[in-house]
Amino acid sequence: MSILLKHVLLNGKQCDIAIRQNRISEIGSGIHGDFETVINGSGKAAFPPFYNMHCHAAMTLLRGIADDMELFDWLNNHIWPAEGRLTPEDIYWGTRLACLEMIKSGTAYFNDMYFHPHETVRAVQDSGIRAAIGMIYLDASPQADLFKRHNSELWEKRNELGDRIRLTYAPHAIYTVEEKTLEQIAELSAEQNVQVHIHLAETAREYADCMDKHNRSPVAYLDSLGLLSKRLLAAHSVHLTDDDVELIREREVHTVFMPCSNYKLSSGKFRFNKLSQSGCHVTFGTDGCASNNNLSMFDEMKFGALAAKLEYGGPTACSSAEIFYAATQAGAEAAGFDAGIIQTGKLADIMLIDLDSPMMVADHNLISNLVYAADSSCVSSLICNGKILMHNRIVEGEKEILEQARKCARHLLGK
């Protein structure tokens, strides 16, 4: 695949961007040559796309199923029973719907944790997006052995997944996965250099229970098991002591900020300023659609920026550039992809923003507009791994995806 983007705005200057295979081959003015596709980028600005670092993609089918509830009531009495009715085909179409929503909102990658991961892989392969697929561990579930079998089958096929898909070890949380299992995952992660993706310090109850049982915080508990490292992606991380923050910094853990889900469930307040100023790695994610209820990283950036200012107690806390970096390049770096910035030689992940969108006018500071003003409708096109996934807001096959996902969602409630 070869693509030429003509007359796009990049870093305040109009230029051409050439893509060959899956990388950016040249950036400059008046680029010529033979290209399979030439896109007139006049009136468009090129930016790195979003990297969604924590998601339960197929939960699109549960959007709105149980809102305005306390977390453990929501999880135990509503979400898990509904998930028990999900079929592998539901997971496929729910994930296809999630990929469609993310593509439409400028996201080129998501880090997933969900059941039937082989169906998530199939959906990602068909969608063209990047993803890390979690091999889920949930010892508290009656289906724990089934999940481990699925993980083993998926691991055996890891070399057949292609260059857009990675696997992670995904223990659900410290309160649903046994200590012995967590220790085994720590060993496997270190031996194989595979990332670990976990919910961590998400609620006050989790923190209190961990202190009662282990006499240490959830962060310190994971550290005692050998799980804190640069391979760990810690979702939520809202109940942290200063000592926890220092441990996270020392071990180079990647934290994932999900303001919309955290605040909707009233789980807690993420300490963006404390973490970033301490030198910790901070990224953004959306969580699943049952607790958000969308997959828009635009929402996460704006809510995250406002939350950081409230945390600090003043409007000067964090710049729009810091927030945008956390939602794009920091995520790409955490995911281990050579992307997240538009430069020659980098992987060709690019979103084009429509500068004629009312939300992008005035254009004094486009990054500020993206963080504080824009929404998904501003994304005109998305390129992932050198392939056009959306152009002029059109995604191939979206009508079928919507129809099939709607059918799957209705059967969950017997409709």
Domains of the chain, earliest start first? 2-48+341-396 (2.30.40.10), 50-335 (3.20.20.140)
Tens digits of residue pLDDT in 211-231: 999 999 999 999 999 999 999
Q: Is the pLDDT of residue 4 over 90?
A: yes
What distance in Å separates the CA atoms of residue 163 and residue 348, rounded to the nearest whole number? 13
pLDDT of residue 71: 73
Q: Is the pLDDT of residue 407 over 90?
A: yes
Residue 78 pLDDT class (50, 70, 90 cuts): confident
What distance in Å separates the CA atoms of residue 229 and residue 73, rounded to the nearest whole number? 32
284: Cα within 13 Å, side-chain hemisphere: 27
pLDDT of residue 83: 86
Residue 377, helix vs strand vs coil? helix
Tens digits of residue pLDDT in 134-191: 999 999 888 899 999 999 999 999 999 999 999 999 999 999 999 999 999 999 999 9
pLDDT of residue 414: 66
Tens digits of residue pLDDT in 41-70: 999 999 999 999 999 999 999 999 888 887
Tens digits of residue pLDDT in 81-107: 888 889 999 999 999 999 999 999 999
| C-beta of residue 401 within 8 angstroms of C-beta of residue 373 | no
Q: Is the pLDDT of residue 273 over 80?
A: yes
- Write the CA distances from 283 to 132, 185, 385, integer angstroms: 15, 23, 21
